[in-house]
Chain A
Amino acid sequence: MATATKPVSQARTSRTVTVQVRVKRFQPDSGKGAYWQEFTVEADPLDRFVDVLNRIKWTQDGTLTYRRSCLHGVCGSDAMRLNGRNRLACKQLVADLGTKITAEPMLGFPVVRDLVVDMDPFFSKYEKIKPFLINDEPVPSSERLQSPEQHARFEEGTKCILCGCCTGSCPSVWANREWVGPASIVNAHRFIFDSRDRAAQDRLQILSDRTGVWRCRTIFNCSEVCPRGIPVTQLIEEVKRALVQDGPDVG
């Protein structure tokens, strides 16, 4: 049977550290450009970075602006660039980021205010690849059948929470904002390789034009930053292969 190990709360309360947070700020209605502001805040090493932001907002500066909701890495609201890498602020602890933390909005998106970016262009590109099941055959009275192997073929892409970390870390996106970007391709893959879907060719055609998959230069930033651990680059490569081979192998 278990014995009581070291109380976790001791780790939480006895080691408070002073954290310097540098935030890249921008208020469009202020008439001035973006600027850096530094906040000093006491934090527990096990605090999430979003807890630190909340503390600043609630006790120092109510104008500090960012999105957040679920606080545990499933809703995708608080994607931002922390110490130079796209992260979810609720999945990073102070212990991960150190006592000098830099927070910026993600690159490759129009900035709305402070750490908030405009996600509308991102969702428009997502919509472009027809991110929904297309199958006009009559449905059975119960479920459509799909083997566990057929399910596994596209499962990785279903983990996507549309946070934008991958798209905002992609140099090809920074260079050309028309490009659909990695998140859209992940979601296209999810349907292209689903044995129940009938529109793989439509999506492949959309992805074969000059704003499609071929702009991926296999830089791997997307795979490195995905907070859901999706092998983004691999999925993009599979779509490229399906294009070359004239169709996906759905198992």
Chain B
Amino acid sequence: MASNVASIGGRAYPITDHTFDVVIVGAGGAGLMAALQLPKDTSVAVISKVYPTRSHTGAAQGGVAAALGNQEEDHWKWHMFDTVKGGDYLVDQDAAEVLAREAIEAVYDLEHWGLPFNRTPDGKIDQRRFGGHTRNFGEGPVRRSCYAADRTGHMILQTMFQTAVKNQIRFFNEFLCTDLLVQENRAAGVVAYSIRDGEVHTFSAKAVIFATGGYGRAWRVTSNAMACTGDGMAIAYRRGVPLEDMEFYQFHPTGIYRVGVLLSEAARGEGAYLLNNTGERFMMRYTPTLNELAPRDIVSRSIVTEIREGRGILQTKRDGDDYVYLDVRHLGEAKIREKLPDITDFARNYLRVEPITEPVPIQPTAHYAMGGIPTDVEGRVVIDEHNTPLIGFYAAGEAACVSVHGANRLGTNSLVDLIVFGRRAGKHIARQLQANELDFAELPADAEDHTRAMISRLRAGTGETQDAIREDMRDVMMDLCGVMRTQAGLSQCKEKVAELQDRYSKVRIMDASTNFNTEMMEVIELGYVLDCAEATVAGALAREESRGGHFREDFPTRDDKRFLQHTLAYRADDGGVSELRYKPVVITEFQPKERKY
């Protein structure tokens, strides 16, 4: 990292006040993609709490969808339709159009930067099938997913980081963002805590982008990295920005039992079965045409139904503790070795199960936030149902809600979201800077006060340490705000989360050091993820319908009359959700229909 120390009279002083044209928080796919759009004469800082290559984008396996048509006929409009239908019609269709159209250019950009895509025999980018992606508006599967073996996310992250090194982008690594500075209704910068030395830094900027990822750590079983604690969402929420559609959280059907690590949808793409305790392929009862390849929300719900009805392998009837089998044995050793190496490795390594001869225990795992910080199609954060922008503030990737995923995201569309809307946000800022539409706002004199007060409060805490608060949160969210929800369960969950917030306000930290204090980092992160959980539960309780990833046992059908709209959850100044507002869904081409597969 470049020097953060000034030498005055031979003594070193840390520089803690910074000024950049653009500050990007988060160095995953969305943040780096945005950074790479900015012209050379723009000063850019990327703040990341991990080294950029550790970002969770790197965990994505399957691919990135784009209607290149390299293998068979395909059109962006088919991709748009699949996205809208997959999202159970809660998708904003203007955004889905942008997603599907611009995916194509964005994938070519990545290739031009060197991304090592798998290739067709004639040298083009190879493409394969993935759940929910179809030709001609649902007629049958289409090869749309561009991929680099089973590590597409890793290659996107590496390629963008390499290009960022080439463009000499300035990184502030191991800096935890703690605050968004807002002055006169515009973003003025951010505050961040340097994990390495405990210093508080202020960044003044003309534009701020939050590309901070999701918050899967709110649930006990999750595919998400420990860094996925909803930092940007919570910081925005604390500064009065609402969170949109937080009740729509995707559970991926095939997480490794208890560990939550993902076994890619590619397994079912290749023909894997899902089996209950009698050895039955139960998906044939739920979605008789697509069977195991139905969209993720439907498969996860079917697994939970099997478990609750006593057909889990352990027959506990408790979906958090039980599992079913993913079975690839009939595919044969050669195909398993060739096509599913990741699954084989993960099952062997974490379960000591041999997939060639044994079925693999799996359970639904908390995976992806469809909701997040509300933005328009340019990546600008909007703060109400009239789409009023907060000038200079942008969000992209899983942290944002455009909304292209609606109530349920299709496989491979997460990487598409990152590259398309990271790119859009970066390009929009570049245009605005060029036209002098963005400028520095004067920082408040007390810019760091909020962060310093938070740190002092945490250092002075006299209550319990973080462990039980975090574990209790993960349990209640898994049990009461998971794949299936009820009014009674959600009400109880809301109360529990409020109790946890109260316990958190007294939390105690064992580590008094300012040097690489990861306990401080974890406790600040726990505060973020609790806020995200709070908004999730409030939205889920109010949404008395079932749509995509949000399923209410007491309201099992979709209710377009009342709920064909986005939730906006606002935070009260003293904590807790103060109000839920709703904004209409943008419908351009595809009228809502029953979602059948």
Contacts and interface: CB of A to CB of B under 8 A. Distances in A.
Interface string A141-173: 111111110110011001111100000000000
A66 B58 CA distance: 20
B118 A151 contact: yes
Interface string B491-529: 000000000000000000111011111110000000000
Contact of B261 (A71, A143, A154): A71
A46 B352 contact: yes
Contacts of B117: 143, 151
Interface in B127-179: 148-149, 151, 154-155, 158, 162-163, 165-166
Given A4-B277, A159-B151, A59 B467 contact: yes
A194 B470 CA distance: 46
Interface string A106-121: 0000001100100110
Contacts of A113: 513, 515-516
B577 interface: no
Contacts of A68: 226
Contacts of B116: 151, 154-155, 158, 194
A101 interface: no
Nearest to A30: B513
Nearest to A96: B349
A9 B314 contact: yes
Contacts of A158: 116, 148, 155, 158
A142 B68 CA distance: 9
Contacts of B480: none
A196 B125 CA distance: 14
Contact of A2 (B118, B125, B166, B359): B359
The residue in B53, B273, B329 that gathers the most chain A C-beta atoms within 10 A of its C-beta is B53
Nearest to A197: B114
Nearest to A59: B467
A31 interface: no
Contacts of B114: 132-133, 191, 194, 196-197
B93 to A, nearest CB: 27
B452 interface: no
A61 interface: yes
A177 to B, nearest CB: 18
Nearest to A28: B515
Contact of B162 (A4, A71, A133, A196): A133
B510 A63 contact: yes
A243 interface: no
A123 B169 CA distance: 14
A69 B465 contact: no
B466 A58 contact: yes
A67 to B, nearest CB: 8
B59 A119 contact: no
Contacts of B149: 155
Main DSSP-derived SS at the B contact region:
loop
B261 A131 contact: no
Main DSSP-derived SS at the A contact region:
loop
Given A8-B353, A27-B515, A69 B314 contact: no
A218 B590 CA distance: 62
Contacts of B273: 2
A9 to B, nearest CB: 6
A142 B226 contact: no
B465 A2 contact: no
Interface stretch (A16-24, A73-81, A206-214, A230-238): A73-81
A159 B50 CA distance: 19
A16 B279 CA distance: 30
Interface residues of B, number: 79
Interface stretch (B105-113, B291-299, B392-400): B105-113
A41 interface: no
A240 B226 CA distance: 40
B257 interface: yes
Given A9-B314, A46-B351, A95-B352, A72 B59 contact: yes
A75 B275 contact: no
A241 interface: no
A72 B261 contact: yes
A29 B515 CA distance: 7
B148 A75 contact: no
B226 A8 contact: no
Nearest to A63: B511
A162 B321 CA distance: 36
Contacts of B509: 62
A93 B258 CA distance: 14
B239 interface: no
Interface string B50-82: 110111101100000000100000000000000
A178 interface: no
A5 B226 contact: no
B516 A76 contact: no
Nearest to B314: A7
Contact of B467 (A2, A58, A145, A146): A58
11 contacts: A2-B275, A4-B313, A58-B467, A71-B261, A75-B55, A75-B58, A112-B196, A142-B124, A148-B120, A151-B118, A155-B116
Given A5-B358, A57-B518, A132-B162, 17 more contacts: A5-B359, A11-B352, A71-B226, A72-B350, A74-B151, A75-B50, A75-B54, A77-B54, A93-B350, A113-B513, A131-B165, A134-B166, A142-B124, A143-B111, A143-B112, A150-B119, A194-B114
Interface of B: 1, 50-51, 53-56, 58-59, 68, 108, 111-114, 116-125, 148-149, 151, 154-155, 158, 162-163, 165-166, 196, 225-227, 257-259, 261, 273, 275, 277, 279-281, 313-314, 321, 323, 325, 327, 329, 346, 349-353, 358-359, 361, 465-467, 470, 509-511, 513-519
